[in-house]
Amino acid sequence: MTLIEPEDPEIGDPVGAERPFTAECDQPATMKVFLDGTLVHTSDPDVQEVSYTFESAPLGEHMVRVVAANENGTGENYWTWNVLSTPPVVRRVNPVEQDVTDTVGSSRRNFSVSIDQMAIICISIDGFMIYTSTPIPNYHDYTISTPDGFASIVYDHLNTTGA
């Protein structure tokens, strides 16, 4: 059993990354692909190469194992696949300006943010946390009341699921 792609048995990818795994055998066999001990793919009989692409995997360390079996016996090889978290990227914030001024008495201001993955959004005014969302998908809109005077709004994004 030889690992073809990736060649290195120790690999890492960010959450959500698609990853193909390809292995070959020196003789015709039925080849099976496992993720953490669970069978995910079985090749046709009498092949010498198998390839399987995972669309993504959960955060953490995983073992991808390939087993080849024929009348001569079995052989196997594996990869250690570390799926890592990546911080969310803020793609759009409204209002776009960093400094926003409202007149005294105007108490509502709409703030929205677009991010590239599931995340928790935290909003603080003048250093005090006023809102923490549940894990949300890529877009969220907030209407918040601000006290009279100056306030700074900070979007703080924490990766939670990577989905």
- The pLDDT of residue 158: 46
What are the pLDDT digits (tens) for 65-75? 999 999 999 99
Distance (Å) of CA 49 to CA 18, 28, 149: 20, 9, 68
**DSSP character for 44?**
P
In one-letter notation, the amino acid at residue 15 is V
State pLDDT tens for residues 54-108: 998 888 899 999 999 999 999 999 999 999 877 777 766 667 776 777 666 666 6
Q: What is the mean pLDDT of the chain?
A: 79
Taking a C-beta distance cutoff of 8 angstroms, is the pair 62, 56 a contact? Answer: no
Cα(132)–Cα(122) distance, integer angstroms: 4
pLDDT at 161 over 50: no
| pLDDT of res. 150 | 46
Q: What predicted TM-score, i.e. pTM, was given to this entire model?
A: 0.58
Spatial contact of 87 and 70, defined as CB atoms under 8 Å apart: no
